[in-house]
Amino acid sequence: MRIIFCFLLCINLGLKAQPTSLLWEISGKGLQSPSYLFGSFHLMCSSDFQFQDAIKEKINRTKQFYGEVDMSAPNLQQELVGLMMLQGTSLDELMGTADFKKADSIFNKLAGIPLKAIVNFKPFMASSMLALQSIPCTDKVQPETRLMEYAQKLKLPIKGLETIQDQMNAIDSQPLDSQVIALKQSIFGFDSIKTMMLSMINLYKTKNPDSLYHFIKSNGGNGNFEAELLIKRNKNWIPVIIRAIQDKPSFFVVGAGHLAAETGIIALLRKEGYTLKPMAY
C-alpha cells in the first residue's frame, strides 16, 4: 500500500512539527505579490472536503494555477493508460497462478470487474482501483480537481509541476515485485486497508502534518518509497515553482505530504530565501 498512499496523500517522511495548516503563503525575496501552496488529499468523500471561501480568496489573488500535473490536458487519461501497460509480462504471471486465481475472485467482488480484465496493466492500476473502493462513500471527489475547476472559471492558465511521464517514472522506480506484494496486501487484507484509509482521511481533516507523518511512518513508509516518490520530486519541483512565482502570483496544489520536512517544499523554498507562512482556512 505504500505507493497508493503516496499518491492519495504523499505523506512526508522526515517531518518536523509545523503549525496546523495545509495552506501556506509564499512571499519575500523581492516578490511583488504572494503565491500560495495547498496540501491536498487526492481522493475523498465529497462530504469530507469543504472548499472554504478562504481558499477561493487566495486563488482569486493569483494569475495561474499549478497541480502536480496539468489535469486539464486533453489526452491525459489516454497517455496514462498507455504508460500503465506491462511490457513482456502480465499480471497473472507476476502474481503466480494460484495467487492470481484467488485474487481474481476477491478483486471482482471488491472492484466490480475481474482482475483478469486488467491483466496487461501494471499492478499499480489494480491497487489504485482498490484504493477507490476503500473510501467509504459513493460520492467521491478529487479536491485538486475542484480547485482547478474554480481556477478555470476565473480563466487562470492551468499548468503542472511535472508531466504524467514523470509521475509514472516515480511509480516505476518501485520494482514490479514490490508492486505485486502491495497489490496482494490490498486484496487479501482489504478490511485493514479500509480502516487505514479512514484513519488517514480523519487525520487529514485535522490539518496537522505532524500527525499525518507519524501515522504513515508507523505504517511502513520509508526507504526508496520516500526517496523516489517524495524527496526527488520535491527537489525537481522547486525550480518550476520559483520560475512561476517570479513570473506572476501562483496557486499550487500538491499532495499534503510534499509540504513539510527538511526535504519538503516548505523547507526547500525557505532555503532559497522565501518566506512561508501558514494560513487559516
The model's pLDDT over 199-252, given as tens digits with 9 standing for 90+, comes to 888 888 888 766 766 676 566 555 566 677 788 999 999 999 999 999 999 999
Q: What is the dihedral of CA 246, 249, 253, 254, to 10 degrees?
A: 20
Q: Which amino acid is residue 88, in one-letter code?
A: G
Rounded Cα distance between 242 and 234, Å, is: 12
HSE-CB for 166 with a 13 A CA cutoff: 15
Segment among 14-18, 139-143, 181-185 with least mean pLDDT: 14-18
Expressed as residue numbers, the domain containing 36 is 2-278
Element (H or E) spanning 252, and its range?
Answer: strand 250-255
Segment among 78-92, 175-189, 216-230, 260-274 with least mean pLDDT: 216-230
Number of structural domains found in the chain: 1
pLDDT of residue 257: 79
Segment among 64-68, 164-168, 174-178, 212-216 with least mean pLDDT: 212-216
**53 contacts 270 by C-beta, under 8 angstroms:** no
